A and B are shown apart, each in its own frame.
Chain A
Amino acid sequence: MIDFAWSVWNGIPAWSQVTLVNLVLIIIIVLPVVLGVAYLTFAERKIIGYMQVRIGPNRVGPRGLLQPIADVVKLMLKEVIIPTNANKYLFVTAPVLALAPALVAWAVIPFTDRWVLANIDASLLFVLALTSLGVYGVIIAGWASNSKYAFLGSLRSAAQIVAYEIAMGFALVGVLMSAQSLNLHEIALQQAGGLHQWYLWPLFPLFVVYFIAGVAETNRAPFDVAEGETEIVAGFHVEYSGITFALFFLAEYANMILISALASVMFLGGWWAPLNVVPFTWVPPLGWLLFKMCGLLFLFLWFRATFPRYRYDQIMRLGWKVFIPVTLVWIAVVGAAMQTPLGFLFH
């Protein structure tokens, strides 16, 4: 039986062998991401609940642990309503366009020293290009819904995402200058050796800009003007129901996890332990990456529980007049320092 399976495997062409192996690897990566999204929503409701002196969901399963499953079932069973005069094809395509880039970008994330699906040379650029595609889901959703609220939300979001993408890109320029590489795996390798080698310290302003721009890119509070419940009901996804709404939800949370993973890899040393001494080296490398990601995800939730929503003009001011100058100055500082004996600080 095993011999037969082996002969079938050897019989198929080489390219389809590669495709099959990659398909299995993709499932191994995407399934935990989707599960992570489900339990991130649960964590969000619990954490914000405790911050506001409430209990949060506690009815489904022990301590409410099965709540996300119940939510998924509920969303799947609801009817998908397509508004009158909406553009049917685009209306259905939009959630897919929002979700796909958020999942595809995981292909180049290095999980440990050896675990990376596609170790391509320009992976940093690849991630940047893909995250810039996510905005199409929002724009098309807003336009195809044939609703004023949705349209307003999509216009706000388009302007905001384009503005913050520039600051984000410049923050990454600093990282690639320090690492001398566009490869995420290489960037993480450069930070080996412990806490003091992380790019968090020499590139601290860029880290702050990157993370806040990441919060803005994912349309999370306090930058959630695209949804703005109090102003435009729910913004671009006001007309979506059931599984189509669930896809937008999934995309937003998958993007949050992605931003956290990228920030961990680029600024917090990826899978490397903070100190190379005994109690820290017991934890497996993947454990360290997940730990750092969880810390950053907690920040996302903490922001939402703490800050009121930004006014729209202030969002634009922060993006264009504060973040972009800060990143430009710090890139100049890094570039100049590299020409002096102090350059070792930035490597």
Chain B
Amino acid sequence: MNFEQLLFYFFSTVLVAAAVMVITIRNPVKAALFLVLTFFTAACLWILLEAEFLAIALVLVYVGAVMVLFLFVVMMLDVNLVRLREGFAEYLPIGGIVAVLLVLEMAIILGPQRFGLGNFPEPAGHAADYSNTRELGRVLYTAYVYPFEIAAVILLVAIIAAIALALRRRKDSKYQDPRKQIRVEPAERLRIVKMPTEKRG
């Protein structure tokens, strides 16, 4: 076993163990943290595949941004485990059927006759100065420019839709306008009244 294989097995073990912990651990915050570990080890495996751009993008996007916001939400939730487990027996049959079907489908598609090592030629090795990122950028903006742009537009629509759904303007909310706050003059806030002294009555 060479060093690379040793690394591969190490990362794979951590990945599988962390993924199992995500669904078995009780505390939702810890489950989210194990998901972070899962993503991170997956990125390490991609680095072993010489896909450094995808690996770093995975860490940057999923670990650095998506999971942070996810944790943010999970920490704020008051998860009641007793209530969550209430209808467990009731949903077990249908959930079990779905799970078994999913495993079967994945076994059919990802089985050795389609994804076996024999079906794919060994990828050619690249020199140390080969730029994965440059190559990916070139392909994305030439051969796959339409799918890429369409995906971008769909994401943009999703962002706008999400904001539109969440945006509720309350008429009585005390919204501060920084522009007005900066332009305030002393005369608007303070009124000096001059009056003559009066004799005590």
Contact = CB atoms under 8 A, between A and B. Distances in A.
Interface of A: 13, 15, 90, 120-122, 125-126, 128-130, 132-133, 135-136, 139-140, 143, 151, 155, 158-159, 161-162, 165, 182, 313-314, 317
Contacts of A139: 68, 71-72, 75
A317 B133 contact: no
Contact of B129 (A90, A121, A161, A317): A121
Nearest to B72: A158
Contact of B65 (A132, A155, A182, A313): A132
B53 interface: yes
Contacts of B68: 135-136, 139, 158, 161-162
B48 interface: no
Contacts, number: 70
26 contacts: A90-B30, A122-B52, A122-B53, A122-B133, A125-B56, A125-B57, A126-B56, A129-B60, A129-B63, A132-B63, A132-B65, A135-B64, A136-B36, A136-B68, A139-B68, A140-B33, A155-B72, A155-B76, A158-B69, A158-B71, A159-B72, A161-B68, A162-B65, A162-B68, A162-B69, A182-B133
B64 A129 contact: yes
A226 B64 CA distance: 18
Nearest to B137: A182
Interface of B: 3, 29-30, 33, 36, 52-53, 56-57, 59-60, 63-65, 68-69, 71-72, 75-76, 129-133, 176, 178
A122 B36 CA distance: 22
A165 B60 CA distance: 10
Contacts of A143: 29, 71, 75
Nearest to A134: B64
A255 to B, nearest CB: 15
Given A13-B3, A155-B76, 9 more contacts: A90-B30, A90-B33, A121-B132, A125-B56, A129-B59, A129-B63, A132-B60, A136-B36, A158-B72
